């Protein structure tokens, strides 16, 4: 078995563990906070804190990784410390202590996925036959199966069973990351704060990140308050596991054929298409007559999040230089966190005054508004590509002219 195949297998197992750990934690936080007696506003605040920690911490980990460490070491450190700090969260009591303990976990856990993505793309850079979509597909399977099983376990044993399994799976993931002996290319240039500023000053990347924020305002509301929607349409905690299972498994065809889709339709086209389907999905959620309908609608997850993720990461990989790839990726995840922060806190406050069905109508409309920026970004990139082609053609013509003159002489 050649080195690329070995790396591909190990990366698939890494994503299974990373996504399985997330499935033990994120989908059941709203239910956990309800069990603790939090109000809708408190749940919104707690999950807004969940998002904002990522906004702050992810770029810091990206900067540290690019400047001082490497992706593999940073990934191992964050996974190990995530598996340990979760026990503080398990035993925390009271609103403020729970928030503090959650922040401690998230200082490490929130950067695990962006570091995994950045490390995987670094490996793909030297092993072109490895496809990100097929690697990420295994993560979706790990997430879906784990969420389904944990939903039943939480109903029978209790919520702490999910958090203990989170710790175990994170340790397994760290061990798998340790076993990957890939060494990336040594980039002699070191980044500084001005490089990060220049990243944001790039007009097309700035628009891209703003779109990511807007989409994640709606996505943050969906991921947090779909628990409430399931309850209001007759479901219980075990149905949450089924819901997240359906969402995760629905990703697999898109992720499997992701590379072909990117080549055929272009990352920006897929990015915009995903936003259209986000809007339609949330609208259908808003008119759900039963939890069965809600779960059925989540099959549309296949046409939203995986398309959005594949297109976004591919776009960043194309548009950023090698020394900034980790930072660009972590800024993407931080932008997602900003959106989720706004969505969580505003969604919680709105739910004190409106129904969850109205909330989903609002986020559907909000997703539609993002399309205008998508069209703007598309135009900028088309103009840029046209300019590059024109310059390239002009240079080639100039070279041919020089050769012709040399022959004549």
Q: What is the pLDDT of residue 405?
A: 47
- What is the pTM (predicted TM-score) of this model? 0.75
Under CATH, what is the fold of the domain 3-181+202-408? Answer: Growth Hormone; Chain: A; (1.20.1250)
* Domain residue spans of the chain: 3-181+202-408
Higher pLDDT, 84 or 382: 84
Q: Work out the mean pLDDT of the chain and round it to a whole number.
A: 87
Q: Is it the case that residue 106 has pLDDT exceeding 90?
A: yes
State both tokens at 387: 């300019």
The rounded percent of the chain whose pLDDT value lies above 70 is 90
What's the confidence (pLDDT) of residue 112? 94
Q: Report the alpha-carbon distance of residue 342 to residue 166 in Å, rounded.
A: 26
Q: Per residue in 119-135, pLDDT tens?
A: 998 898 888 888 888 89
Dump pLDDT digits (tens) for 297-338: 999 998 999 899 889 989 888 888 777 777 787 788 778 888
Residues 219-251 have pLDDT tens digits of 989 988 998 999 999 988 788 889 989 998 898
Residues 60-89 have pLDDT tens digits of 888 888 788 889 999 999 999 999 999 999
Give 159-213 pLDDT, tens digit per residue: 999 999 999 999 999 999 999 988 665 454 555 667 677 777 788 889 999 999 9
């Amino acid at each position: 078995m050649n080195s690329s195949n070995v790396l591909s297998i190990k990366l698939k197992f890494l994503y299974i563990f990373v996504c399985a750990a997330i499935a033990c934690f994120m989908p059941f936080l709203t239910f956990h906070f309800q069990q603790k007696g939090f109000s809708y506003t408190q749940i919104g605040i707690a999950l807004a804190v969940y998002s904002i920690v990522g906004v702050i911490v992810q770029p810091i980990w990206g900067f540290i990784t690019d400047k001082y460490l490497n992706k593999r070491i940073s990934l191992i450190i964050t996974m190990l410390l995530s598996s340990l700090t979760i026990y503080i969260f398990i035993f925390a009591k009271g609103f403020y202590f729970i928030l503090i303990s959650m922040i401690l976990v998230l200082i490490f856990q929130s950067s695990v996925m962006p570091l995994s993505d950045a490390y995987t793309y670094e490996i793909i850079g030297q092993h072109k036959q490895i496809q990100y979509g097929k690697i990420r597909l295994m993560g979706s399977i790990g997430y879906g199966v784990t969420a389904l099983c944990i939903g039943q376990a939480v109903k029978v044993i209790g919520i702490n069973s999910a958090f203990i399994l989170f710790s175990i799976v994170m340790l397994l993931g760290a061990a798998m990351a340790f076993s990957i002996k890939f060494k990336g290319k040594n980039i002699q240039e070191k980044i500084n704060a001005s490089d990060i500023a220049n990243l944001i000053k790039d007009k097309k990347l700035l628009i891209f990140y703003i779109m990511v924020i807007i989409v994640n305002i709606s996505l943050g509301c969906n991921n947090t308050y779909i628990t409430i929607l399931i309850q209001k349409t007759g479901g219980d905690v075990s149905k949450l596991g089924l819901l997240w299972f359906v969402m995760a498994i629905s990703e697999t065809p898109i992720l499997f054929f992701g590379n072909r889709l990117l080549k055929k339709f272009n990352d920006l086209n897929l990015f915009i298409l995903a936003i259209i389907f986000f809007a339609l999905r949330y609208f259908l959620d808003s008119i759900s007559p039963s939890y069965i309908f809600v779960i059925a609608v989540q099959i549309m997850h296949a046409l939203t999040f995986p398309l959005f993720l594949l297109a976004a990461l591919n776009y960043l990989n194309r548009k950023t230089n090698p020394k900034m790839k980790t930072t660009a990726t972590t800024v993407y995840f931080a932008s997602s966190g900003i959106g989720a922060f706004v969505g969580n806190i505003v969604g919680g406050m709105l739910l004190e005054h409106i129904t969850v069905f109205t909330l989903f109508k609002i986020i559907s409309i909000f997703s539609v508004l993002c399309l205008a920026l998508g069209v703007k970004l598309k135009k900028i990139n088309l103009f840029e590509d046209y300019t590059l082609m024109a310059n390239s053609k002009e240079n080639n013509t100039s070279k041919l002219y020089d050769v012709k003159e040399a022959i004549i002489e």
